[in-house]
Amino acid sequence: MARARRLVPECGPIRGPSPPPSGTLVSRPRTLFDKIWDRHAITETAAGDTLLYVDRCYIHEGVRHAFDRMQMNGESVRCPSQVFAFSDHYAPTHQRHLGAAASNDPAIRGMLELADANANRYGIRHYGLDDPNQGILHVVPPELGITQPGLLIVGADSHTSTHGALGALAFGLGASETRHVMTTQTLWQRRPRNLRITVNGQLPFGCTGKDLVLAIIARIGAGGGVGYAIEYAGEGVRSLSMEGRMTVCNMSIEAGARAGMMAPDDTTFDYVRGKPHAPRGDDWDAAVAFWRELPSDPDARFDHEVFIAAAEVAPMVTWGTSPEHACSIDDRVPDPAAADSARQRADHEVALEYMDLKPGQRLTDVPIDRVFIGSCTNGRIEDLRAAARVAERGRARITAWVVPGSMEVKRQAEAEGLHRVFEAAGFEWRAPGCSLCTAINGDEIAPGERCASTSNRNFQGRQGKGGRTHLVSPSMAAAAAIAGRLADVRELGGNG
């Protein structure tokens, strides 16, 4: 079991070596990160603070704290056309024809209504409950072509790193920084260090981007990426689909890194081409020519490097309450007595007590009560296809939900007949939203219930107070639904 390892000494949040003055011609080889950062640097102070220009800002209902403050101060949104709002966190995932009224909780309805009101007040495009493109803020912008390579994107959500999969620099903000971006279209940041994670070879049978990123987090730890922007590279990354790449970048923050990114390539361009907001005609050619210049220069220097052998990755599952508490499905629950340090031992003991697991227990013997397939990590079409391929081999023994990441994913899945596959196998086919990943829209698991979930956080109570979460890939989640316990998807013959 990998020990959470600090890669740099601590001295603050975003730090790093003194960068060259921005805005000047720089001859040294640069990383993908450097190229986007430099292009967006308006000015830099002597103390090393860079004022960055923000191309896109993605928000959701929870941004109410930023709007409350703006209203108090009488501030307006500087560039409404560069802010995109989504109703996802509080979106009901059943009876959606009722709109916000589908929720019987007045506080939840209030948040949805407030999101509508704030978007109207500030002139922001809002993908609300009744919008044909409603969905999660990290699923919709890529599928509409709003997210593009080379952009600097921020979001009022820690999983904004997702958009880095398209070769953008994207990171999450709290409410104060979101307010700063909405009112000035800029953000003060200190340059983070560059960490490259190179994945050599291709992932084996049964493994997906989710298994890869869980393996990476287990290796470097939940704090291993603090202070870094991660670039994922190597054949194991290039061979992933856009959906798989987004899953990997999505969970960068679970290793502590605010941003995760990947070089744009033909897979990226093929994905973006033809999307409603994608460049067209001459614009397209100019954009692609620019995008092709973005990948890190061959001799660019990274502050730290990690190498992963893809062949050694197996289908992963978390056993504890931090994403770093992850191991392969054919492992056993670790024994805290074997931990690297007293602190790790204490941490593992608390986690196992909360999860009600015994050291040495086979993970495939762990019974499961609920299954959740969805979220900004794994709610895209490829994820649903992978889960459906497993679902059609059996029947769910337990309550299993499939929640598409967006209306577009839902339409596409239905056009492919995936909803019928799920329903025939006893899975519930629901409406798009964050649902059981963040458990704030009324969807939650009961105290003591154990859920195999394709989401991103297995924190205590994340899916409902007292609930227990095991993070897995979509096909592993479907396998768990059929087996009624954690199961090795490779034994069911399903591929990732």
Q: How far is the CB of 295 from another protein (least distance, A)?
A: 17
Q: How far is the CB of 327 from another protein (least distance, A)?
A: 17
Among the listed ranges 205-213, 220-228, 404-412, 480-488, the one in contact with another protein (CB under 8 A) is 220-228
In the list 94, 113, 131, 184, the residue contacting another protein (rule: CB under 8 A) is: 184
CA dist 148 to 67, 79, 219, Å? Answer: 27, 18, 30
Residue 146 CA to residue 161 CA, distance in Å, equals 15
Extract the runs of DSSP E, i.e. beta strands, from 167-303.
169-172, 186-190, 193-200, 228-233, 259-262
Smaller CB separation from another protein, 133 or 202: 133
Placement of tokens 């396998």 in the chain: 479
Nearest to 363 by CA among 320, 322, 332: 332
52 by Cβ neighbours in 10 Å (0-12 / 13-18 / 19+) ranks as buried
What backbone torsions phi and psi does residue 10 show, to the nearest 5 degrees?
-80, 135
Smaller CB separation from another protein, 11 or 97: 11
CA 257 to mean position of chain CA atoms:
12
In the list 286, 311, 338, 424, the residue contacting another protein (rule: CB under 8 A) is: 286
- For 359, the token pair is 């050291």
Query: Is residue 10 close enough to count as binding another protein by CB under 8 A?
Result: yes
Among the listed ranges 67-75, 210-218, 360-368, 481-489, the one in contact with another protein (CB under 8 A) is 67-75
Query: Is residue 83 close enough to count as binding another protein by CB under 8 A?
Result: no
Smaller CB separation from another protein, 67 or 427: 67
- By CB under 8 A, the residues from 123 to 142 that bind another protein are none
In the list 64, 301, 304, 385, the residue contacting another protein (rule: CB under 8 A) is: 64
Residue 350 CA to residue 46 CA, distance in Å, equals 45
Query: Is residue 45 close enough to count as binding another protein by CB under 8 A?
Result: yes
Per the CB < 8 A criterion, the answer to whether 446 and 95 are in contact is no
Q: How far is the CB of 496 from another protein (least distance, A)?
A: 26
Nearest to 379 by CA among 400, 398, 407, 399: 407
Query: Is residue 311 close enough to count as binding another protein by CB under 8 A?
Result: no
- By CB under 8 A, the residues from 142 to 161 that bind another protein are 144-146, 148, 150-151, 156-158
- By CB under 8 A, the residues from 433 to 492 that bind another protein are 438-440, 457, 459-462, 465
Q: How far is the CB of 258 from another protein (least distance, A)?
A: 5
- For 142, the token pair is 């890529």
Give residue 297's identity as a one-letter amino acid code. Answer: D
Among the listed ranges 29-37, 68-76, 195-203, 237-245, the one in contact with another protein (CB under 8 A) is 68-76
Nearest to 67 by CA among 55, 48, 50, 80: 80
Q: How far is the CB of 350 from another protein (least distance, A)?
A: 8
Smaller CB separation from another protein, 296 or 456: 456
Binding-site string for another protein from residue 20 to residue 39, where x marks contact by CB under 8 A and - marks none = -------------------x
Nearest to 363 by CA among 339, 328, 396, 394: 328
Work out the angle at residue 214's Cα, subtended by the Cα atoms of residues 208 and 217, and round it to the nearest 5 degrees.
Answer: 145
Query: Is residue 55 close enough to count as binding another protein by CB under 8 A?
Result: yes
Q: How far is the CB of 12 from another protein (least distance, A)?
A: 5
CA dist 4 to 1, 184, 234, 282, Å? Answer: 9, 37, 23, 48
Three-class SS of 153-180: EEECCHHHHHHHHHCCEEEECCHHHHHH
Smaller CB separation from another protein, 1 or 151: 151
Query: Is residue 387 close enough to count as binding another protein by CB under 8 A?
Result: no
Q: How far is the CB of 210 from another protein (least distance, A)?
A: 18
In the list 34, 88, 347, 382, the residue contacting another protein (rule: CB under 8 A) is: 347
Q: Report DSSP letters for 81-129, one per residue.
A: GGEEEE--TT--SS-GGGGGGG---HHHHHHHHHHHHHHHHHT-EEE-T
Smaller CB separation from another protein, 168 or 492: 168
Among the listed ranges 60-68, 205-213, 395-403, 418-426, the one in contact with another protein (CB under 8 A) is 60-68
Residue 175: count other Cβ atoms within 10 Å of its Cβ: 17
- For 444, the token pair is 């939650």
Smaller CB separation from another protein, 31 or 322: 322
Q: How far is the CB of 133 from another protein (least distance, A)?
A: 9
Among the listed ranges 2-10, 194-202, 232-240, 307-315, the one in contact with another protein (CB under 8 A) is 2-10
Query: Is residue 2 close enough to count as binding another protein by CB under 8 A?
Result: no
For 184-188, the CB contacts below 8 A with 24+ separation are 184/78, 185/53, 185/54, 185/78, 185/79, 185/82, 186/42, 186/51, 186/52, 186/53, 186/54, 187/51, 187/52, 187/54, 187/154, 188/49, 188/50, 188/51, 188/52
- By CB under 8 A, the residues from 256 to 285 that bind another protein are 256-258, 275-277, 279-280, 283-284
Binding-site string for another protein from residue 162 to residue 181, where x marks contact by CB under 8 A and - marks none = ----------xxxxxx-xx-
Contacts with another protein by CB under 8 A: the residue count is 92
Placement of tokens 């519930």 in the chain: 428
- By CB under 8 A, the residues from 95 to 124 that bind another protein are 107-108, 110-111
